[in-house]
Homo-oligomer: A and B are copies of this chain.
Amino acid sequence: MKLASLKGPARDGTLVLVSHDLTRAAAVPAIAPTMQNALENWDAIQRKLAGVQESLAHGNERDAFDFQAALEKGEVASPLPRAYEWLDGSAYLSHVERVRRARNDHVPESFYRDPLMYQGGAGDMMGPRDPIRALSEDWGIDLEGEVVAITGDVPMGATPAQAAGAIRLLTLVNDVSFRRLIPAELAKGFGFVNGKGANALAPVAVTPDELGNAWDGGKIHLRLVCHVNGKWFGSPNAGVGATFDLYQLVAHAAKTRELRAGTLVGTGTISNKDADSGFACIMERRLVEQVENGEAKTPFLSFGDTVRIEMLDRHGATIFGAIEQRVEKYAG
């Protein structure tokens, strides 16, 4: 199944089922008014949702509308317009290795056994075409392209196998980071508050079965294609170089507390050792430039710049739709 949310009428938006090719969609008010509601009642309603998906595939949904037109008009929200928990791992250690190497440091041995993860804010998710807003370009505005799992309820102490069974949906996230604010904030020792902005999810979240055998072992074995200002920036393979899979990351997040339906667990920025794959964040390219050429040349994002993040299946078709955002000065 493919699911999305339209903006309004209230803050949690309106759940819609989306055709496999993302052309058409239909609201399902009689089944679940919102994505959050659907996630809380998943077992009771997933068969009904599948019925609507089937109808859409056969062109039988009378109230279906043009999903691409809604997307272009900015009417599509993040599949979860707001979420209670956003726990983001750092599964791709080549990203961490590059950060450390640039400051002549090494990655602690424990990082290969115990996931690095931070708790972020998700109370105000941007829609996939909403602007990234900041008060100053001096913050060092950066994208971070990642895969994210949306869970059902997860018991405390869940094993990776139990966590696997609790993953309801997968999508992409742009985990917006303010690079120049991060060093001083992390030095305080309590993680990120000001260093991370609001995030955007891809237009559509999908059940794992939509990915066929590209979803294997808690990883999506496909490339994440990132563009900055219309130019190819990177397409690292999300199935390559992940020290931890999403089953392990969800289990880590649930180690000392229950996670409730609608929790977002991210992989961290997708990164491959092979620099020819490019990058899913600007910082990493800057770190490679610094090591190779003695200085970082690629600038962080300025007002007016655009980013695009998507993932294509083996036939080149978009799976989740694209996150396409323009950077703007916040004006309230």
Q: How big is chain A's contact interface, by range?
A: 35 or more
Could you write out 27 A-B pairs with CB less than 8 Å apart? A10-B40, A11-B40, A84-B84, A84-B121, A84-B124, A117-B193, A118-B191, A119-B119, A119-B121, A119-B191, A119-B192, A123-B259, A123-B260, A135-B156, A135-B256, A139-B256, A178-B256, A186-B190, A190-B191, A190-B192, A191-B192, A193-B253, A194-B252, A196-B257, A197-B256, A197-B257, A198-B258
Contact, CB under 8 Å: B123 / A263: yes
- How far is B20's CA from A19's CA once the two chains are assembled, in angstroms? 54
Contact of A256 among B10, B40, B181 (CB under 8 A): B181
**Residue of B at shortest CB range from A124?**
B260
Instruction: List chain B residues, Cβ under 8 A from A84.
Output: 82-84, 121-124
Q: Is A188 among interface residues, defined by CB-CB distance under 8 A?
A: yes
Q: Which residues of B contact A117 (CB under 8 A)?
A: 190, 193
Indicate which residue in B10, B156, B190, B259 contacts A133 across the interface (CB closer than 8 Å): B156
Is A38 an interface residue, CB under 8 A from the partner?
A: no
Q: Is A29 an interface residue (CB 8 A)?
A: no
B residues less than 8 Å from A114 (CB atoms): 188
Interface presence of A120 (CB below 8 A): yes
A11, A186, A256 interface centre (most CB from chain B within 10 Å): A256
User: In the complex, what distance in Å separates the CA atom of A181 from the CA atom of B114?
Assistant: 13
A112 CB–B CB distance under 8 Å: no
* Chain B proximity mask over A98-127: 1 for CB below 8 Å, otherwise 0: 000000000010110010111111111000
B190 A118 Cβ-Cβ under 8 A: yes
Q: Which B residues lie within 8 Å of A83 (CB)?
A: 84
Nearest B-chain residue to A37, judged by Cβ: B10
CB–CB A124/B190 < 8 A: no
Q: Name the residue among A123, A195, A255 with the largest chain B CB count within 10 angstroms.
A: A123
* A160 in contact (CB, < 8 A): no
Residues of A near any B CB (own CB < 8 A): 10-11, 40, 82-85, 87, 90, 108, 110-111, 114, 116-124, 133-135, 139, 155-157, 178, 181, 186, 188-198, 252-253, 255-260, 262-263, 330, 332
Would you give the shortest CB distance from A40 to chain B, in whole angstroms?
Answer: 6
The 9 closest A-B pairs by CB, nearest first: A191-B191, A84-B123, A118-B190, A85-B123, A194-B256, A194-B255, A124-B260, A190-B191, A123-B260
Residue from B110, B134, B189, B193 in contact with A87 in the complex, judged by beta carbons closer than 8 Å = B193
Say yes or no: A257 contacts B192, CB within 8 Å.
no
Min distance, Cβ A197 to any Cβ of chain B, angstroms:
5
Expressed in whole angstroms, the minimum distance between the Cβ of A179 and any Cβ of chain B is 12
With the chains together, A70 CA to B90 CA distance in Å? Answer: 44
User: Do the beta carbons of A119 and B11 come within 8 Å of each other?
Assistant: no
- In the complex, the answer to whether A123 meets B262 with C-beta atoms within 8 Å is yes
Chain B residue with minimal CB distance to A330? B156
Complex interface: chain B residues within 8 A of A252 (CB): 193-194
Known: A84-B84, A87-B193, A119-B192. 20 other contacts (CB 8 A): A10-B40, A11-B40, A82-B84, A82-B260, A84-B123, A84-B124, A85-B123, A87-B121, A123-B262, A124-B260, A134-B256, A135-B156, A139-B256, A189-B189, A189-B191, A193-B252, A193-B253, A195-B256, A197-B256, A198-B258
